[in-house]
Structure 1
Amino acid sequence: MAPAAESALKHPPELSGTPAGEGKSRPHTGTVRAMERSDLPVVADLFTRTFRKNNQKTDSQLAGYLETVFFGSPLYTPDVGSLVHLSETSAIDSAILAMPIEYSVHGRPVTARVLCAFMAEGKSGAAGAARLARMLRAARQDFCFSDNASPVSADHWVAGGGHVLPVQSLEWHRTFRPAAAALHMARRKVKLLGKLPLQGLARAVDRFVRRSRTSFAAVPHDGIRSAPVSPQQFMEQARLMMGRFSVHPVFSKAEFDWLIAAAKLNTSLGELQCCSITDAQGKIIGCYLYFGADGRNAVVMNVFCHERQEAAVVSQLFADFDNLGYASAQGMAQPFLIQAVLRQRHLVHKHTGYFCLVTRHADLKEAAIGDGFYAGGLASESWSRLLHDF
C-alpha cells in the first residue's frame, strides 16, 4: 500500500538484539521490535495520519481490525508478524504491518511475509523507516513480497536485491455496461452522486449501447458451465489446480478458513463468492473466487484452472459476470492467464502498484521471474479493508 508496501524480515529479534515475544521486557529506545497488541491504538493513529491525511480522527474500528488481521492468523508468531521502531523517547515513530501466509516452494513449506503498510512520521520516523528498509535484503529473506508497492518502494526492493514482477503489477479491467460502470466510479469519487437516482438512466443508456455494440457482451465457450460452490469446495479444487506451479499458496484448512473469514469483513466490495467451472463432459476445469455487489463491480481475487483450459475458463468467468448484471470486473494480471484475458473486448490493463519480492532462495527467484509462480488474491493483501476503508 502506498507510499511503501513491502515485507519485513523473518527474524526481527536478530536486528534489535532483544527477544520480540510479547510479555518480555521491551528493548532500549531507538530499536526495532515486534509489534504488540498494546501498540495497536498508537499504530492505528499513525496509519491514519500517514495514509488518510484528510481524516481528523482515527476510525474507532481500526485498532480492532488491525488486531484481527495482524494477530489473528493461525500462522502468527511474533517472529513472523509486524514490526515497530521506537524513537529516543520510546514512542513508535515508524512501523511495518506484515502478516504471514504459507507457501509451497518446490514442495517445501515456507512462511512468506506480506507487508500491508509501511509508515513513518517525523525525522526520527524517517530514520526508523530507513532502518526497517535496510532489513529488506535478499540475502536475509526466505520469502517476502508485496503486491501494492509505490514506485519509490519498488526502487528500494530492487536496491536490496529484490525483483519487480511486471505482469503481476497490472490489473485488468473489463467493462460490460459502460454507463453503469462510469456511474459506480463517479460515486466512489463524489459521495453526493450516491444520493441521486441515476441508476435508471444508466440502465437505459447501457441497453442502447449494448444493442448497438454487441461486443460489450461476454461470450462463453460452447459446452462450458459454471455453478456456485462453497469456500471448502473451492479450496479443494484450487489445491489440485495449483500443482502446475512450483511456488504457490498452501491453503491449509486452518489458514484458508481464517483468510475467508477475514476477507468477508471487507463488505465495501460486496459479497465474497466462489464458483466452479466444468466442461461439456462435466469435468471440473477451473474455479474462481470474487467479491461482488449487485450491478456494480466484480473484484476477482483468485482464478485457477488446469493447463490448456485457460481460454475456456476466462471466457466463462466473464460470461458469468455479464449474465449476473455486473457493470464491470477487475482482477490481478497473472502470466498463465494473460493470453486468455487479452482476447476479451473492452478490456484494459491498469497499473496501481508494483508486485515486489525478495528471497535468498535461487529456485524461488527463478520460479517468480518465470512461469512457475502463483500469488495474489487471498494469498496477498488484496482482500484487506486497509486498501478500501478507514
Structure 2
Amino acid sequence: MVETVRACRREDVPIVAGMFARVFQRGKGVPGRELPRYFEKILFPDASPDASNESPSRVFLDAQGDVRGFIGIWPRRMVLHGRTIEAAIAGSMMVDQPDAHPTAGARLLRAYLSGPQELSFSETANDISQRMWEKVGGQRLPAASLDWLRVLRPAGFAVALAGMAFRPASIFSPAASGFDRLVEARGRNPLAAPPDAFGYRDAEVTNAELAELIPTLSDSYGLHPDWHSPELSLLLAHAESKERYGDLYRRVVHAPGRGPVGCYLYYGRRGRIARVLQVVALPDAVGATLDSLFRHAASAGCVAVRGRTDATLLDALIARRCVLFHGGAMVIHARNKALLEEVRQARSLLTGLAGESWTRLIGGKFA
C-alpha cells in the first residue's frame, strides 16, 4: 500500500483525537472521552442515521494504512460585495511522527486546496504552514496576521505573564493588585482604560440577540460570512466554553440616537489576560467599540486584553497604545487570481466566529 490522503471517517475520530492531544496539548497516552466526543461533534455535526460517514476534513495514511496526519476543513459560505462565494476554512493541521512522513503536511494541504471551494483560508498558520501555502500560490494577509495586546494594569500583567511560564509566581497577584489600585487611585496609570464616551453605552446580551445583530453589522464589510451557512447560533454555542480563558462576555455598544453600532465577545478572568474572540463594528464606531471593550475588561478585573488584528481595527488599536506582535498567519488561496486580489482589497471579516477560533479546540479543556 502507498501513502495516501482520503476523507476523514467516523472510525478515524479516536485516532485524530489522540493525535491532537499529543501534538497540541502535549498529552500522553489515550485522551479521555470528552475530546473524541467533541471531534465527533464538529466533524460530523449531522447525527441522523442517514448522515454521511465521511467529513470534508482529510486524513493522511502511511504505507501501512494507519492514520498519521489530519487537516480540519469547515465549509463556509461567504458574501463578497453582495455576491455569494463558497469558501472553506482549514485548521488543526497535524502530523504524527513528521520526521517519518515529511511530505504529509504538504499532501494534506494540497488535498484541501483542490476541494470545490472558491476561496480557502486559515487564521492560525504557523511559519511552516505559511511557507507551504505560499509555495502553492497562497498569500498572507499582513494586517490579519498580527495579535494585539492592550495592558490595563502593569503590575498585574507582569505577574500574570510570569505565571504563564512559572505557576508559583501567581502568589504575587495580591501585591500586584494592591500596587495597581494605588497607582490608579492617584491617577498615575498611563494605561488605564479610557473614560466613558459621551452618549455611548454598552450592555450584556444573549447569544440569540447577537445572532440577530452580527449579520446586520457585518453588512458594512466587503467580505463577510453568510451567517446562515453554517448558522451563527451554532458557532456561538460552540464558543460558549473555553475553560482556559475564563468566562465569556457578550457586549453590544449603542451610539447616541443610532442604536447598536458594534459588539464584542471576550473571555476574561480576574487577574488574567482577557482573550478576544470577536470585534464587529461599523466603520465609524471601531474606536468606541474598542474603548468599551477595554473599560469592561478592566471592570471585570482583567490585567490586559489580547486579540487578533484585521485591517479594520489596526489604526484604532495603534491609537490606543496597543502592542502588535506576530501570531499565527492569516493565509488565503484562490485558483481565480482576480478573486484573490478582490479578497485582498476588501474590508474583510475572516477571524473569530468567521474563521476557526469558535471551536473549543482553541482554549478548551478536555477531561
For Structure 1 versus Structure 2, the TM-score category normalised by the shorter chain is 0.7 to 0.9
Asked whether the equivalents of residues 137 and 162 of structure 1 are also in contact (C-alpha less than 8 Å), the reply is: no
Q: Distance in 1 between matches of 2:212 and 2:286?
A: 19
Measured against aligned partners, the alpha-carbon deviations of 1:144-187 in whole angstroms (never above 9, x if no partner) come to 11111111211111111111001100011001112222222222
- Per the alignment, residue 12 of structure 2 pairs with 39
Q: Distance in 2 between matches of 1:371 and 1:199?
A: 43
Q: Distance in 1 between matches of 2:114 and 2:96?
A: 26
* Range that drifts further, 57-66 or 269-278: 57-66
- Look up the SS of the partner of 2:291 in the other structure: helix
- 1:214–1:193 distance in 2 versus 1, CA, 3 Å: closer
Asked whether the equivalents of residues 234 and 288 of structure 1 are also in contact (C-alpha less than 8 Å), the reply is: no
Q: Distance in 1 between matches of 2:103 and 2:135?
A: 18
Q: Give yes or no for the alignment of 1:370 onto 2:345.
A: yes
- Look up the SS of the partner of 2:105 in the other structure: helix
Q: Distance in 2 between matches of 1:359 and 1:129?
A: 19
Tell me which of 48, 51, 56 is aligned to 2:28: 56
- TM superposition score normalised by structure 2: 0.87
Measured against aligned partners, the alpha-carbon deviations of 1:17-42 in whole angstroms (never above 9, x if no partner) come to xxxxxxxxxxx753221111211121
- Look up the SS of the partner of 2:90 in the other structure: strand
Tell me which of 113, 138, 146 is aligned to 2:122: 146
Q: Distance in 2 between matches of 1:153 and 1:333?
A: 20
- Look up the SS of the partner of 1:335 in the other structure: coil
- TM superposition score normalised by structure 1: 0.83
- 1:254–1:84 distance in 2 versus 1, CA, 3 Å: closer
Matches within 5 A, 1:163-174: 163-174=139-150
- 1:247–1:282 distance in 2 versus 1, CA, 3 Å: closer
Matches within 5 A, 1:340-379: 340-345=316-321, 347-362=322-337, 364-379=339-354
Q: Distance in 2 between matches of 1:283 and 1:50?
A: 46
- 1:92–1:304 distance in 2 versus 1, CA, 3 Å: same
Q: Distance in 1 between matches of 2:341 and 2:106?
A: 28
Tell me which of 258, 267, 276 is aligned to 1:300: 276
- 1:294–1:100 distance in 2 versus 1, CA, 3 Å: farther
AA aligned to 1:188 is M
Matches within 5 A, 1:112-131: 112-122=87-97, 125-131=101-107
Q: Give yes or no for the alignment of 1:186 onto 2:162.
A: yes
Measured against aligned partners, the alpha-carbon deviations of 1:119-154 in whole angstroms (never above 9, x if no partner) come to 223466334333223336589751211111111211
Measured against aligned partners, the alpha-carbon deviations of 1:292-319 in whole angstroms (never above 9, x if no partner) come to 2234222111112223222222222222
Q: Distance in 1 between matches of 2:129 and 2:357?
A: 18
Asked whether the equivalents of residues 175 and 216 of structure 1 are also in contact (C-alpha less than 8 Å), the reply is: yes
* Range that drifts further, 271-280 or 207-216: 207-216
- Per the alignment, residue 134 of structure 1 pairs with 110
Deviation at 1:344, TM superposition (A): 0.9
Q: Distance in 2 between matches of 1:114 and 1:81?
A: 11
Q: CA RMSD in A?
A: 2.7
Deviation at 1:338, TM superposition (A): 1.3
| Identical aligned residues as a percent | 29
Matches within 5 A, 1:78-97: 81-97=56-72
- Look up the SS of the partner of 2:183 in the other structure: helix
- 1:32–1:225 distance in 2 versus 1, CA, 3 Å: same
Q: Distance in 2 between matches of 1:146 and 1:362?
A: 18
AA aligned to 2:82 is G
Asked whether the equivalents of residues 264 and 289 of structure 2 are also in contact (C-alpha less than 8 Å), the reply is: no
Asked whether the equivalents of residues 33 and 85 of structure 1 are also in contact (C-alpha less than 8 Å), the reply is: yes
Deviation at 1:239, TM superposition (A): 1.0
Tell me which of 209, 217, 222 is aligned to 2:198: 222
- 1:266–1:323 distance in 2 versus 1, CA, 3 Å: closer
Which structure 2 segments of 5+ residues have no match?
A: none
- Per the alignment, residue 238 of structure 2 pairs with 262
Task: Work out the number of aligned pairs and report it.
Answer: 358
Asked whether the equivalents of residues 187 and 193 of structure 1 are also in contact (C-alpha less than 8 Å), the reply is: yes
Asked whether the equivalents of residues 223 and 346 of structure 2 are also in contact (C-alpha less than 8 Å), the reply is: no
- 1:46–1:139 distance in 2 versus 1, CA, 3 Å: closer
- 1:130–1:334 distance in 2 versus 1, CA, 3 Å: closer
- 1:224–1:316 distance in 2 versus 1, CA, 3 Å: same
Q: Distance in 2 between matches of 1:133 and 1:377?
A: 21
Q: Give yes or no for the alignment of 1:199 onto 2:169.
A: no
- Look up the SS of the partner of 2:109 in the other structure: helix
Asked whether the equivalents of residues 141 and 360 of structure 1 are also in contact (C-alpha less than 8 Å), the reply is: no
Q: Distance in 1 between matches of 2:125 and 2:94?
A: 13
